[in-house]
């Protein structure tokens, strides 16, 4: 398994990262542990989770994913074998009233409480990468167009957030810090504050990126390369759509689209499905699994540090991990670009 450096740190992560947001919702604890065992046995040394997981978030399951991962760590006694990442929730929004009494923010009080609670659930005394799940301020996310500036008077100043992160780094609870669901301005603001105040420099940004969802390429890709703030790409299969399993109107029982269509249905709307159909045909014409082609494309991007895959079975996980050994030919890459040039933004 290829290893890549996390920002300017000495931490190396596997190009494939195991995402865990299904643990505690779509997957039982035993199933989650089976995935973790398989991933570690097959070269995946990077595990990503979050305090708000599983998804969809709710007060009933809040923290369950970290607890499942923590029970695995305690049972296997293998904490030194992998890089562990988790996240702290940003400003409270609708649906997150269960997190710290609906007062979640990226201020000193919340960050200290959140990391201590995560470490307790994870049954470890440190995490390698601690990420800010969202910004405190109001901004466009998830590919939104039509930016309308809104002042956020209650937002935590970035300097205070970085000072709090510096405190938990100094305490040995965190090795490096990163962002998630951020914008180019946000990355720039964090880097500028870190440089001016000698505070921790963000090393990564975790945003959605796939063949169907490419806003990252517009501005953040250049930032990622020049500043060594590499992308940790989530939803690289567009919630499973790029596997081709939803073509022809199919909705497999128990799939994410079956269970959470209102949340993820944009990936199987007519426009993205038309693009997916062409991509699946290209993969098959070249003797590739559509899943392998979609993931290998993400793996090959120069601004990507790691590709976060999520599965609901070991069988899916095995295929996803196999993409690390796939190198796309010039013919396939040109075919992909031709398809995407016809419809560069199929999902918004």
What is the set of active-site residues?
53
- Decide: helix, strand or coil at residue 274: helix
Q: How many residues does the chain have?
A: 348
> To 5 degrees, how large is the angle CA 99–CA 142–CA 89?
20
Residue (of 279, 247, 275) closest to 344 by Cα position: 275
C-alpha 17/C-alpha 39 separation (Å) is: 9
C-alpha 134/C-alpha 141 separation (Å) is: 9
C-alpha 15/C-alpha 48 separation (Å) is: 13
Other C-beta atoms lying within 10 Å of the C-beta of residue 149 = 8
Q: What are phi and psi of 114, to 5 degrees?
A: -65, -45
- Decide: helix, strand or coil at residue 210: strand
Q: Where are the alpha helices (DSSP H) in the chain?
A: 29-41, 64-76, 108-122, 158-170, 184-197, 220-227, 256-264, 270-285, 290-300, 314-322, 330-342
For helices 29-41 and 314-322, give the axis angle rounded to 10 degrees: 30
């Amino acid at each position: 398994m290829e290893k890549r450096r996390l920002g300017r740190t000495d931490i190396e992560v596997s190009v494939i990262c195991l995402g865990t947001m299904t643990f505690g919702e779509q997957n039982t604890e035993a199933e989650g542990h089976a995935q973790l065992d398989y991933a570690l046995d097959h070269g995946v040394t990077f595990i990503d989770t979050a305090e708000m997981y599983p998804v969809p978030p709710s007060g009933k399951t809040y923290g369950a994913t970290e607890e499942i991962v923590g029970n695995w760590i305690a049972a296997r006694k293998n904490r030194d074998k992998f890089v562990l990442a988790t996240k702290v929730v940003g400003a409270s929004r609708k649906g997150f009233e269960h997190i710290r009494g609906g007062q979640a923010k990226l201020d000193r009080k919340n960050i200290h409480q959140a990391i201590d609670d995560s470490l307790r659930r994870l049954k470890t005394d440190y995490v390698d990468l601690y990420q800010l799940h969202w910004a405190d301020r109001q901004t466009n996310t998830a590919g939104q167009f039509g930016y309308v500036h809104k002042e956020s008077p209650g937002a935590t100043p970035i300097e205070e957030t970085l000072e709090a992160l510096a405190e938990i780094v100094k305490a040995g609870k965190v090795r490096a810090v990163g962002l998630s669901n951020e914008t180019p301005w946000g990355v720039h603001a964090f880097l500028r504050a870190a440089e001016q105040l000698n505070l921790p420099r963000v090393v990564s940004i975790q945003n959605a990126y796939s063949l169907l969802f490419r806003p990252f390429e517009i501005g953040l890709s250049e930032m990622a390369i020049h500043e060594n703030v590499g992308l940790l790409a989530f939803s690289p299969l567009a919630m499973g759509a790029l596997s081709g399993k939803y073509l022809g109107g199919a909705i497999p029982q128990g799939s994410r689209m079956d269970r959470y269509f209102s949340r993820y249905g944009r990936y199987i709307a007519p426009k993205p499905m038309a693009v997916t159909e062409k991509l699946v045909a290209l993969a098959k014409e070249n003797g590739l699994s559509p899943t392998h082609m979609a993931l290998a494309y993400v793996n090959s991007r120069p601004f990507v540090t790691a590709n976060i895959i999520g599965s609901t079975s070991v069988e899916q996980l095995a295929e996803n991990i196999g993409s690390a050994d796939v190198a796309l030919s010039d013919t396939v890459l040109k075919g992909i670009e031709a398809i995407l040039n016809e419809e560069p933004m199929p999902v918004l």
